[in-house]
Amino acid sequence: MTGTGYTGPLGLAAGAVLACAVVTLWRRDLRAVVSVLAVQGTCLGVTAGVLAAHSRDIGLGVTAALVLIAKGLVIPALLRRVVRRDPGSRETAPLVNVPASLLAAAVLIVVAYLASGKITALAPGTAARLAPVGVATVLIGFFLLVTRRKAVSAITGLLLIDNGVALATFLLTAGVPLLVESGASLDVLLVVVVLRVLATTMRARFGPFDLDQLRELHD
Amino acid sequence: MLIYAILTVPLAAGAGAAAAPWRRWTGWVAAAANGAVLVLGVALAARVTRGHPAGAAAGILRADALSAFMVIVIGAIAVLASCQSVRYLSAETARGACTARHAALYTALVQAFVTCMLAAVLAASLGVMWVAVEATTITTTFLVGHRRTDGALEASWKYVVICSTGIALAFLGTALFYFAALHASGHPAGSLYWTSLMAASHRLDPGVVRLAMGLIVLGYGTKAGFAPMHSWLPDAHSQAPAPVSALMSGVLLTVAFYALLRFKAIADGALGPGYPRALLVAAGLASLAVAASLLIAQRDYKRMLAYHSIEHMGLIALGAAAGSSLAIAAVLLHVLGHGLAKGVLFLASGEILLVEGTSEIAGVSALLSRRPALGGIFGFGLVALLGLPPFSLFASELNMLRAEVAAGLGWAAAVALACMAVIFAAVMAHGRHLLLGDAPPRSRPEATPRIVAVPLTAGLLACAFLGVSAWPLQPLLHAAAQVMVS
């Protein structure tokens, strides 16, 4: 593949991962948020696929397929079943409103570029220079996790962090060894399953609830 | 062979337990399997201290003295906890709070949890170690929520969200170490094995390692219960059933810390000791301060024990910051001593909760005169935990402080001592309320069942024996410290 032919799709796919993260801050309808997560997982898989095609790395190709299935299909399907049973699932009153959240996202992206200066300075190629995109996704995930009040939003934040870490890993190192990557994907999948069970149990017990109503335990 | 056996025996016991509804004997089989882990761990330790490190599974698994020591710690506390699990599950099934199926699932999850911890300390690749540590979160979440109260549900939610976030950061840190190694050597083969990272540590890019080590301390530090990432810990450790609390507090925290130690050795090589030391001192002092301030007004004895774990993790972090061979040996002895003492105390607290029906300190008093055996075990456990002789925590705390002063961290040791004094006073006050006082008139002292008294007394005796004479462990501790220092 030629240099430009490789950089274009790679930048597009990686940029789409970050764009999806910003969209999750913007949409309040949790069903839409889950669809955005599916798109993000797919873009992440495509990023790994482009890298694999470029370097003709079979291990990375398998990883890309794994990511596509786990993050593009299975995890969103699991979450969709949670939000479908709860028709009124909207993030009605986030701790920070939507325009301010989007502004914060812009700041976080700048912070990500500043923080990864040391890494990109060392970077040999195009891919590694895109690594701040992954870091920015992680930071936006954190922001979502601490400012939203619905269980599904917390799971979304966790998944954004995870996707951001995975994106940065692909771009910097062309993927960790396959054994580690498949173990990590399985772990993430199981965490989502566990969170889903907890979220449904909590809703069955407390009715529609916000996370800040969890106040049984404190000092 | 030994390594395979260590991983398969507990897992097989768990799989067997899952296959059928729970019976008392399936619980005892699990306890026996964990006993086998302890014995195999001792055999592994004997082999690695005498000769070369052991490897298995095409180099994915590897055991040196440090790993073997951790296997012994995990095995010892797992035996205590699984004996107590039999007691917990028979009580729960007898009062109808838990079906035999549910109890079988509990046993299987505990065994899977123990296996994940063993895999974490036996992994040769830092990536595989990460996968195993994250798997401990997954296996313990439902165990934390096993009592199915509102509080247990809330605790398991917080636990899994906070720890998964932390561990995701640790993955980014691991990936950055990998990136630095790729950049230094240019070929990916074996770049995630800590042996090759240790060998190449002086060639890693300092800027990247600095960032990576920060993420590792944040990430694994969350799992190890360092302040300010500790907020899940008191909830999870107080809501989980006592045997699970004993395993989480006694060993899981130190398994996460073990991961941190492996990275510290690499970062020391890349950056010199200054930066990792600063991170560990900050984490250690913050943890001590948080534990001291929140122990004073604590009203729940299980939460009291949980905050006490944060204190001990702080002490361990300070000891590791000193970094000398003496310091590491003392840290490891402290890991074992704390595991035993905290395990015994959590297990005893589970029995107290069972017979008294409340976990409020105010709701329990005069244990020593009403239930002499149980009160005695709890009392001696507190004495051990507060670092009084003859228990091993006295020797290890003393040596850690000595090493800190020798490493120029005298000021940190002084702050630590001040926090320890506050904690000592607070825990003594709570302990006095629980243990002393007058028994109600015309009541007769109640016996404690042997299933509780025998294992817990054995645990305390082991802790005291190690305090009087650590000679059986001396060569192993020395060899493990060499792994870290050289």
Show the 3-state SS of B187-207.
CCCCCCEHHHHHHCHHHCCHH
Q: pLDDT digits over B425-447, tens only?
A: 999 999 999 998 777 777 778 88
Spatial CA neighbour of B341 closest among B242, B225, B457, B472: B457
Distance CA B224, CA B137 (A): 12
Distance CA B485, CA B421 (A): 31
> Which B-chain residues 131-160 have CB contacts (< 8 A) with chain A?
131, 134-135, 137-138, 141-142, 145, 150-151, 153-158, 160
pLDDT at B132: 96
CA atoms within 13 A on the CB side of A146: 8
Q: pLDDT digits over B214-238, tens only?
A: 999 999 999 999 989 999 999 999 9
pLDDT at B155: 93
pLDDT at A1: 42
Give a yes or no: residue B152 inside a domain: no
Q: Is the pLDDT of residue A32 over 50?
A: yes
SS3 state of residue B149 = coil
Are A187 and B134 an interchain contact pair (Cβ–Cβ within 8 Å)? yes
Judging contacts by C-beta atoms under 8 Å, the chain B residues touching residue A177 are 125, 127, 188, 192
Give a yes or no: residue B104 inside a domain: yes
Tokens (6 digits) for B204: 């890693």
Per the structure, the count of domains in chain B is 1
Spatial CA neighbour of B287 closest among B301, B302, B305, B307: B307
Contact status, residue B200 vs residue A197, Cβ threshold 8 Å: no
Distance CA B169, CA B164 (A): 9
Q: Note whether A176 contacts B: Cβ–Cβ < 8 A.
A: yes
Distance CA B260, CA B403 (A): 19
User: How many helices and strands (H and E) does chain A possess?
Assistant: 10, 0
Give a yes or no: residue B260 inside a domain: no
Q: Is the pLDDT of residue A5 over 80?
A: no
Spatial CA neighbour of B115 closest among B3, B260, B245: B3
Q: Which residues contact B486 (CB under 8 A, 6 or more apart)?
A: none
Give a yes or no: residue B56 inside a domain: yes
Give a yes or no: residue B431 inside a domain: no
Contact status, residue B312 vs residue B342, Cβ threshold 8 Å: yes
The whole domain housing B7 covers 1-124
For residue B228, whether the previous peptide bond is cis, meaning omega lies within 30 degrees of 0, is yes
Tokens (6 digits) for B246: 């004993």
Distance CA A48, CA B31 (A): 45
Q: pLDDT digits over B237-263, tens only?
A: 999 999 999 999 999 999 999 999 999
Burial of B372 (0-12, 13-18, 19+ CB in 10 A): middle
Q: How far is B247 from chain A (nearest CA, A)?
A: 20
Give a yes or no: residue B111 inside a domain: yes
Q: What is the interface pTM, i.e. ipTM, of the complex?
A: 0.94
Q: Is the pLDDT of residue A87 over 70?
A: no
Predicted TM-score of the model (pTM): 0.94
Q: State the CATH number of the domain containing residue B73.
A: 1.20.120
Give a yes or no: residue B484 inside a domain: no
